[in-house]
Structure 1
């Protein structure tokens, strides 16, 4: 073989290797080009229509033109969000994101059979939104304040019932945290979602509940439910005169339903994560997104990757302590 032919063959071989590497990287999203280079998918581990789903759809509309690629929302509900979270954790296409929520950190603690680990399996992108819980009682209840509720729980241990949207949900764990912090005994009553709980709460079949703001605000305004307190750091504009639990001397009961954007660990290059973080922060600061979120009764929350990762860790620790202290088990 002459020198020229050897040179050509060598160049051909190198070109083939380069093309093969490029094709391999393209399949995982790791390319020399700017991320993303194809459609971005946001998995929402709940059915359409909820706060996390609506927030994801607002962001998809805003982020798509900035990223230069389509952004679609894929609902993967089931098992208290565990199915969707696992689907995201196992995705290796380099263009999948997850709209995580409280249940994301609660489920692995509640149910040891759930195999994902938030810190091990996900890269944080940033916080998205927060939503307060509202402590409500039936309008016909004799209890008109948080102090009266605590006094009743102390005077008649176990007789007060706290309705919740299911075992291990944020409403359930917050009621259990209430019992711990106030040193009272209450009886938790699980329902299959807030839509099933609210009519019984209005009818007085349960004593109280820590419910999501959108589920109860119309009933509070109509006078069918009475709001005793909100769990947010600041008062809620939609509920004038309703105190925060912090202002009532219960800072440990400051609980928020939150949403955060995360990515399967190591699937998006650092430059892509940094770009997402910046675009997310910018989007949450716009009047358009703020207005859309307000209509959903959620508050935009901008937080960087490191702060978000720490927050998810702290939330997992917090609820692990409550679950252990109260002996809460997953439904069999």
Structure 2
């Protein structure tokens, strides 16, 4: 039976191997220095023995031999220090690269598990709804409810596919966003309205200034807003609110999505925008997601020459703020 090592066990094994190899290389370098030093001293002693003390240039020759031995010692120290520095730098680089690769591999594995679940769930719900419509004679209200639920799951599936496709295009460097004038206020308002319709029981207050325009691509900006709102709703209790705000401050436009969820730890605030990264303990996590949403948000914002950041909401939760240059 094959036993798969956990991420912690793999990192422990890599760390042990790293320190063993590094210790061996340093020990070999020290041994090399001692051996060369002994050889240098032996050669200097043999040359001194060969000298004749009644030679009028005896002291001068002794000085030359001692100087030569000193230069050799300095050479060995210099070469040894250089080799030691290269070994340490190389070892640290290899260790960090290996550690990063193991963590990325684990994140990719978590992503595959999550995306499989995320794909199967809306498909299963849609199939169940359609089978119910096919096999049972329902009144109009129930039919419309099932159809609406199926469309909601289809939209969810479409959003997930768009995220995966766009992430793949970004990694391949095959996507170049267009730059046209867009009504930023309308995009945010329409996205907020869509979520209000999809989640009628959720509290989603909206405060949007009309007539704000930016240069960008409509599809990507819609993806940005949808991912931010979806992320906020995902981590916010159903009884709490998710506030959406778009305001102008000088020549800047601030989009803020504020939730009242569990919040984000300080050490994780920078990492939440990394690809595949999801905050919290993977084993204990109950929320859905693939770890692509906020990564795509950051890429979209950077592609539109804006900034995105996360801060604490009061008394609890998080606020995601996107800042773009506006057209006035």
Alignment TM class, shorter chain as reference: under 0.3
Structure with more helix by fraction: 2
Structure with more strand by fraction: 1
